[in-house]
Structure formats: structure tokens, C-alpha cells
Amino acid sequence: MRRSVSLLILAAGLGSRFGGDKQILKISSLRLPILAFSLHDAMSNNIAHAVIVTRSELADFFEKDIFTRFPSIHFDFVFQDQMAPKLPENRVKPWGTGHATLCAANYIHGNFIIMNADDFYGHHAIATAVHFMENSKPNQCCCVGYPLSHTLSPSGPVSRGIIQMDSQNFVNSIIEIPNIQRQSDGLIIASNAMKNSDSSPILLQPQWPVSLNLFGLNANIFPALEQKFQNFLKENADSPTAEFYLPTAITASDVINKTIIMKMLSTHDHWRGITHRNDLPFVENQLNQFIDQGLYIF
């Protein structure tokens, strides 16, 4: 029996490297944020319920510019900045993607896919995740993996989660690597992160699968996620910067491969997103090409 699937969009980040709220930035000839294109892809793949986790000061934008464009989708709204625990006085940024996911626990009761608001994932990637979750068992979840070379920014370094898996593409872990960039000679390295014994950078392979927070999950993940968040708070309750990352929590060895199994699903789509402000012209041009091809009609 095909299961219904909800959509969870994480849209509460501060966009520190970008320098602003890129999740509401209107780009392309249609003057829409990236998440509108993801909603378009989700709706065309049977998604009828979406939860948006954002900050309270962004509520007006979503109500006027997003909800009205998708009348067939039932939206629920969650404000991460109003959810417990309260941020310490020396902290501005939210607790991270893991906490943002927990904020939606009261609105999701079955299968769902989760994504970042400021990443363009592509129609094939979203369709792949939705199809898997429509036909999954309660203990099955998925992670969409992109070839590393399809996820690099032309404007500067990025952080990527390298997916470790077994011979059957079941995920064992996701290793977050910062400062990944393609050099002028075409080689991909992670500066200051991975070193050989002679202190030279370790080359990263372009075909390695990476996660961009496009997961298919079931609501039964929330108790384990809550426990891990409480453990995180015991060590970081007063930290101004520590973040509770979703990929690290849901791929911990006591979560997957014991109570839950996670399948890595490949996609041929290219990621398009705004990590650096100089990424804007490139992403805008790509979206305009899709619009001109008739792939996105609002």
C-alpha cells in the first residue's frame, strides 16, 4: 500500500556566510525563492502537506508569498526561535537542523521527506525520495546522495557530508567535511580538513556521494532524535555556536543499522544553492533556463 508523505522544510537559518536570509530571497525571472521550486517539485510528486520551520520574523513572507501560491498544499508553521529550550543570552543562531526537525514532531505522524529551504535539489532527486518513502516500511528511511562534483560552488568552499555505506548502499555514517573546493587544475580538495602524512591535502573523488539534507524519514525517528538532543544540551547548553546537526544524529550507530535502516539513493541532478553571495548569478541563470523550458509554471 502506498503511504502518504509529508514535506518538512528547514527555513530558520541565519545565512551567516551569505549575509542575510537567503531562504526568502526572491530570484529568477519569477521573483521567487528557491523553496518555491522545491514545493513545485514536491507537489508534482503527490505531496499535499508541508511543515515549514522558520523564525517568527519571517512569518509574513511565507503567508503572503508562499502559501497563497500553493493552495493545494496544507501548510503548518513552526517557529524555531519560540520552541524550547530558550537560547542563552550569548547566542543568536538557532540550535541547528536537528533541533529544527524536532520542532515539527507534533505536526508529522508518518513518513516525510526533509530538505533545506535554500537548496535547489532537482525534480529527479525529490521524486526519488518521495517514491521510496511511499513504498517503505516503518523502519526504512533514505538519504539522497549526489556526486560530490555536482554539489560544488564556483564561488568558494563548501561543507559536505560524505556518505559512508556498505556494498548494498545502506548508509553507515555521514562524515561532515568543511572547506571543500575545486582547484584551478580541476582537482577537489578539502583545505585544512584532511591531510596526508606529509601534510599535503587529501584529494576527494568527484563521484563520492554526498548528503545535502535531503532525507526520507518516519516519525518514529523523533524519540531517538530527542534523546540525542538532550545529550547535546548537557554539553552545549551555554554555547554561543555549537549546533545539533541532523545528519550526525540520525546516522549515529545506535539509530541506523539497529532500529532503522537507511538506503542511499543516487540522483543525476545537480545541486544548485546559495552558499556565497557570488553564487546568485549562477543559480538565477540556471533557474531561468528551467523556467524557459517550461519545467516550472506557477
Within-domain flag for 298:
no
Number of domains in the chain: 1
Three-state secondary structure along the chain?
CCCCEEEEEEECCCCCCCCCCHHHCCECCCCECHHHHHHHHHHCCCCCEEEEEECHHHHHHHHHHHHHHCCCCEEEEEEHHHCCCCCCCCCCCCCCHHHHHHCCCCCCCCEEEEEECCEECCHHHHHHHHHHHHCCCCCEEEEEEEEHHHCCCCCCCEEEEEEEECCCCEEEEEEEEEEEEECCCCCEEECCCCECCCCCECEECCCCEEEEEEEEEEHHHHHHHHHHHHHHHHHHCCCCCCCCCHHHHHCCCCCECCCEEEEEEECCCCCEECCCHHHHHHHHHHHHHHHHCCCCCC
Range of the domain at 179: 5-292
Check which CATH number belongs to the domain holding 167 and give it: 3.90.550.10
pTM value is 0.94
Task: Walk along the chain (298 residues) and give the pLDDT tens digit of each residue.
Answer: 688 999 999 999 877 666 678 999 999 999 999 999 999 999 999 999 999 999 999 999 999 999 999 999 999 999 999 999 999 999 988 999 999 999 999 999 999 999 999 999 999 999 999 999 999 998 999 999 999 999 999 899 999 999 999 999 999 999 988 889 999 999 999 876 556 656 677 789 999 999 999 999 999 999 999 999 999 999 999 999 999 999 999 999 989 877 899 999 999 999 999 888 899 999 999 999 999 999 999 8
Asked, for residue 148, whether it belongs to a domain, the answer is yes
Domain assignment of residue 297, yes or no? no
Do the domain assignments include residue 50? yes
